[in-house]
């Protein structure tokens, strides 16, 4: 019998088992086509090897909060959302030309070894990584469709996958289109809402709830909880990305500044900066040769303007709004406890 008390490590282990078995089998089938595909298959497996499994957890509790019992089939359906995340990460790292993820070379960097003797090896490795991401997205749909839940349950949730894909791609496109533009906080918040917030919290909750047959009012509550919490998650990620220790975050902390990405952290810094400070930022943002000294000048400017404190306030406000909404919903006590714990896990990460 599954405990009603939320045990995140136990749940993560269940999801990891599903993903490890499913992806290993698919990777083996890919490599069986031709041995030269083995490095590609290894990157498919590497893409799902890490993670807190937050998206799966939100899907699971979208199901449980609607009154449904624990279900191994539902865990498989929830695990499929981690494959969506893995695909998004591979594509995002490729778009941003990020060298590290979880402390290891990203797919487009790792795959250079497979094509090092070929012409235009870097371009070839990037193409392979793009295809790894495409395959992961396809596998997400396959795992969801074969999870074991009744066909009628899957049919009512399937339209949400189209919404999730459209919004995720819109967010990625918005980030590309707004990169290197004059920083704007409202525009940056829209980027993180569509690129991350919706597919991290809101859509997994809605998919889990819709699978469970949740009524309209409950689904509205999921959105009211999920959107601000998803934004808080990405705001925290932006802070950690710039001020965190790469040994713990597993990512290079120079990427956002070097790429002049449209983050609310940079936008808020620009908003309150004076002309002299803006001129300093113009000389640093987007420089491909930016070194650690340049990064520290940006961080020092942000500290002086107290921008990190502003972002902390935005995070706190969004978490408070999410939790207030949660406690107004008529859902079982274990779901309230689990979703409260998940809110803190998503937004109160520190390195």
CA angle at 299 for the pair 298 and 301, rounded to the nearest 5°: 65
Q: 230-272 pLDDT, tens per residue?
A: 999 999 999 998 998 887 777 777 888 888 999 999 999 999 9
As a whole number of angstroms, the distance between CA 214 and CA 220 comes to: 10
CB 74 within 8 A of CB 220: no
Tokens of 10: 């136990």
Q: 139-166 pLDDT, tens per residue?
A: 999 999 999 999 999 999 999 999 999 9
Tokens of 294: 């340049």
- DSSP, residue by residue, 86-98: HHHHHHHHHHHT-
Q: 65-119 pLDDT, tens per residue?
A: 999 999 999 999 999 999 999 999 999 999 989 898 888 999 999 999 999 988 8
Which sign does the torsion angle of CA 55, 57, 60, 65 carry? negative
- DSSP, residue by residue, 317-340: HHHHHHHHHHHHS---HHHHHHHH
- Please give the pLDDT value at position 119: 87
| Burial of residue 158 (number of CB atoms within 10 Å: 0-12, 13-18, 19+) | middle
Burial pattern 18-48, b for ≥16 Cβ within 10 A else e, equals bbeebbeebbeebbeeeeebebbbbbbbbbb
How confident is residue 349, by pLDDT bands cut at 50, 70 and 90? low
Global pTM reads 0.94
Q: Assign domain 8-347 to its CATH superfamily.
A: Farnesyl Diphosphate Synthase (1.10.600.10)
């Amino acid at each position: 019998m599954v405990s009603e008390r939320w045990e995140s490590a136990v749940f993560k282990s269940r999801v990891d088992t599903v993903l490890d078995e499913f992806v290993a089998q698919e990777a083996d089938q890919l490599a069986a086509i031709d041995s030269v595909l083995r490095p590609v298959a290894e990157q498919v497996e590497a893409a799902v090897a890490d993670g807190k499994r937050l998206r799966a957890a939100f899907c699971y509790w979208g199901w449980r909060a609607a009154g449904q019992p624990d279900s191994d089939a539902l865990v498989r359906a929830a695990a499929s959302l981690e494959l969506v995340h893995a695909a998004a990460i591979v594509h995002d790292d490729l778009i941003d030309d990020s060298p590290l993820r979880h402390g290891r070379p990203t797919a487009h960097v790792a795959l250079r070894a497979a094509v090092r003797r070929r012409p235009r090896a870097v371009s070839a490795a990037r193409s392979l990584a793009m295809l790894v991401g495409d395959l992961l997205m396809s596998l997400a749909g396959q795992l969801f469709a074969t999870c074991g839940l009744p066909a009628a349950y899957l049919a009512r949730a399937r339209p949400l996958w189209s919404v999730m894909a459209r919004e995720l791609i819109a967010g990625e496109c918005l980030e590309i289109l707004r990169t290197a533009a004059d920083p704007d906080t409202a525009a940056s918040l829209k980027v993180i809402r569509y690129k991350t917030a919706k597919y991290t919290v809101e859509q997994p909750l809605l998919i889990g709830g819709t699978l469970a047959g949740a009524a309209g009012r409950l689904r509205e509550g999921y959105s009211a909880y999920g959107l601000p919490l998803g934004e808080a998650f990405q705001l925290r990620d932006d802070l950690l990305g710039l001020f965190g220790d790469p040994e713990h975050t597993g990512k290079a902390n120079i990427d956002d500044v070097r790429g002049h990405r449209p983050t609310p952290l940079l936008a808020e810094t620009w908003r309150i900066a004076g002309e002299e400070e803006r001129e300093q930022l113009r000389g640093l943002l987007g420089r491909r040769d930016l070194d650690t000294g340049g990064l520290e000048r940006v961080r020092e400017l942000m500290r002086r303007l107290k921008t990190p404190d502003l972002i902390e306030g935005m995070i706190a406000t969004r978490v408070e709004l999410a939790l207030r909404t949660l406690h107004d919903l008529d859902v079982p006590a274990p779901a309230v406890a689990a979703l409260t714990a998940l809110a803190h896990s998503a937004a109160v990460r520190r390195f």
